[in-house]
Amino acid sequence: MDANIRLSEEVVRKTQSYQKLKSEAEKCLLQSERFSNEKVEFESAVYTKFVAILNSKKAKLRELRDRISKNGTAGKASKEDDSTDGTESYDEGSDDEIVKAEPAEETVGDLPGSSEAAASSGLRARKRTRK
């Protein structure tokens, strides 16, 4: 008889514990979804601001490049300009389309074998300076 009472009390305790854990898991799931939504909204807002700043900087660079080319052609009419400024022409479309269309660029460190090549060239440079 005592065993039945203890077992039924244990079942009640386990059921209550299960209900508490279940409600806590639901709260955590809702909180996780809310955080995820807030993160997406924040990233969207930051990206929008970044694109606006990036586009204004690109416009400023284009303006300065045009100003340099106008001044450079007046002062250097007889010389050829072999330098490149590294900026692209914007005849292709809007900056948003370009950003979405461009794949991620590989850096030298991402290329296979580049770390060994960089390390060996660094060793050669150090050996040359020690002589």
Mean pLDDT throughout 7-35?
97
Q: Stretch 51-58: mean pLDDT, rounded?
A: 97
* pLDDT at residue 129 greater than cutoff 70: no
The chain-wide mean pLDDT, for the chain, equals 75
Q: What is the 3-state secondary structure (H, E, C) of the chain?
A: CHHHHHHHHHHHHHHHHHHHHHHHHHHHHHHHHHHHHHHHHHHHHHHHHHHHHHHHHHHHHHHHHHHHHHHHHHHCCCCCCCCCCCCCCCCCCCHHHHHHHCCCCCCHHHCCCHHHHHHHHHHHHHHHHHC
pLDDT per residue over 74-118, tens digit each? 766 545 544 555 555 444 445 554 445 444 444 444 445 544 444
